[in-house]
Amino acid sequence: MVSTAVGDDTTADRVNDSIEGSSTDDASAPAAAADSAVGEQAADTPVGGRGGRWVRVVAYGLLPAVALVLAGGAGYLKWQYDSARTASAAQTQSVAAATESTIALLSYQPDTVDKQLTAARDRLTGAFRDSYGALIHDVVIPGAQQKHISAVATVPAAASVSASANHAVVLVLVDQSLIVGSDAATSAASSVKVTLDKIGQQWLISDFDPV
């Protein structure tokens, strides 16, 4: 009886072990299958995934475009700066030229009028140079020599109306004093719109209109 009981216990233990082993294998099988599926999916997915593709789009598409825009903006700002600097220089130079040339055109002494006004003509250009040359040689120089006329011009104020690299307009206020022979001096004030063109490195008057 004892041996039979022992045999029965051993058999029961074997049956229990078999059931437990089968249960363990059955429980671990779905987990192993899931791990395998995840591994296969990971293997089929490109490195970086969708996020990696966006990084490449930004790196190879957007960033060069931004760099191009920034370069264009920098070029535009430099052009604006250079244009402003050129205009400022043109204003300063044209106002100085208009002031000095106006004084030279309207000032003379009877003994040196020919030399003074002929030199002043070199400050002019175009058709105005020709008309001024004809006026001084036909009227002003002979009259100043014969009647002993002296003229002194001053410019109390001058302002730029417009200015570009090669063209400018300046408004000039003129005070001119005339002495004829031994008579007392007479004075006159006027304003003139002076148009200048830059020829080479020199600003020359191309028009001289009283206003």
- pLDDT value at residue 155: 98
Model pLDDT for residues 46-73, shown as the tens digit of each residue: 445 565 666 666 556 666 666 677 766 6
How does residue 86 score in pLDDT terms, banded at 50, 70 and 90? Answer: confident
Report the range of poorest mean pLDDT among 76-90, 107-121, 189-203: 76-90
- pLDDT value at residue 60: 64
Radius of gyration for the alpha carbons in the chain, expressed in angstroms and rounded: 50
Quick one: DSSP state of residue 201? T
Q: Which of 202, 154, 151 is nearest to 175 (CA)?
A: 154
pLDDT at 22 over 80: no
Model pLDDT for residues 96-132, shown as the tens digit of each residue: 999 999 999 999 999 999 999 999 999 999 999 999 9
pLDDT at 182 over 60: yes
Type of residue found at 87: A
- Please answer whether residues 153 and 102 qualify as being in contact, where contact means their C-beta atoms are separated by less than 8 angstroms: yes
Classify burial at 192, counting beta carbons within 10 Å of its beta carbon; exposed 0-12, middle 13-18, buried 19 or more.
buried
pLDDT at 163 over 50: yes
Structurally, at CATH architecture level, domain 78-210 sits in: Roll (3.10)
Q: For the chain, what are the domain ranges?
A: 78-210
- pLDDT value at residue 15: 42
**pTM across the whole model:** 0.63
Pure H helices in the chain: 2-44, 49-57, 63-106, 113-121, 126-135, 141-147
